[in-house]
A and B are shown apart, each in its own frame.
Chain A
Amino acid sequence: DMKVTQMPRYLIKRMGENVLLECGQDMSHETMYWYRQDPGLGLQLIYISYDVDSNSEGDIPKGYRVSRKKREHFSLILDSAKTNQTSVYFCASSLFPGQANSDYTFGSGTRLLVI
């Protein structure tokens, strides 16, 4: 069953704490993504990973960093979380981005609350 798995599903952290969001995929996709979604906004791209240790900033990378040491695993790290990072975070992967024969597969999301 091809899927993207995100952990945890729900997370509450205090301001200033470190946060680790995990994402795994079992499709051997090269490209992985982290997005966040806030009410009234579309999905905003935080980071793209083209492969192991090959990452690129998206549109809103400030306050985040990522780690990809294995193709199937992509982590999003918040060093010293802020309340404005409260959001729903989605991880996604794709094989041939943008091509007709390649779809983006999304995880179910992680709801993060920073208090």
Chain B
Amino acid sequence: GDSVTQTEGPVTVSESESLIINCTYSATSIAYPNLFWYVRYPGEGLQLLLKVITAGQKGSSRGFEATYNKETTSFHLQKASVQESDSAVYYCALVPDTNAYKVIFGKGTHLHVLP
């Protein structure tokens, strides 16, 4: 079936360091699903961070970026220099186009950024 696997947390980095959170997907229902990164800050609901619907393209937001790689079926989240305010839980997700009502989430990666 369709699934998402991402870096298990917690991940701890110091402010101004670089970050990568790995995400790989399996989409048996369709070759090229839509891919998303969501973020949940403490006490808040999930927010869309970025999305890419075309293989080969890159999405970016708030200094984060992720490239949709169909060859490696990956959608890793990267940031060159993290800030303490980036501390949150990050979720990789996919929507199989054949069932667009269903979002399949990864387990989430808890990021701690040390000041």
The residues of A with any CB-CB pair to B shorter than 8 Å are: 4, 6, 31, 33, 37, 40-43, 45, 48, 50, 58, 90, 92, 97-100, 103-109
* 23 examples of A-B residue contacts, CB within 8 angstroms: A31-B101, A33-B103, A40-B107, A42-B4, A42-B105, A42-B106, A42-B107, A42-B108, A43-B46, A43-B91, A90-B45, A90-B46, A97-B100, A98-B95, A98-B101, A100-B34, A100-B51, A103-B48, A104-B46, A104-B48, A104-B103, A106-B38, A108-B45
Q: Mark B32-61, 1 if CB is under 8 A from A, else 0.
A: 001000101001111110010100000000
A31 to B101, CA, bound (A): 8
Shortest A40–chain B CB gap in Å is 6
Tell which of A4, A40, A50 touches B101, judged by Cβ atoms closer than 8 Å.
A50
Q: Which residue of A lies closest to B108 (CB)?
A: A42
Chain A contacts of B15 at CB under 8 A?
Answer: none
Tell which of A40, A43, A58, A108 touches B43, judged by Cβ atoms closer than 8 Å.
A108
Chain A contacts of B46 at CB under 8 A?
Answer: 43, 90, 92, 104, 106
Answer yes or no: B62 CB below 8 A from chain A CBs. no
Shortest B3–chain A CB gap in Å is 9
Is B48 a contact partner of A41 (Cβ separation < 8 A)?
no
Is B106 a contact partner of A48 (Cβ separation < 8 A)?
no
Is B45 a contact partner of A100 (Cβ separation < 8 A)?
no
A42 to B103, CA, bound (A): 11
Q: Give 7 A-B pairs besides A45-B102, A108-B44 with Cβ atoms closer than 8 angstroms.
A: A43-B46, A43-B91, A92-B46, A98-B101, A100-B53, A106-B47, A109-B45
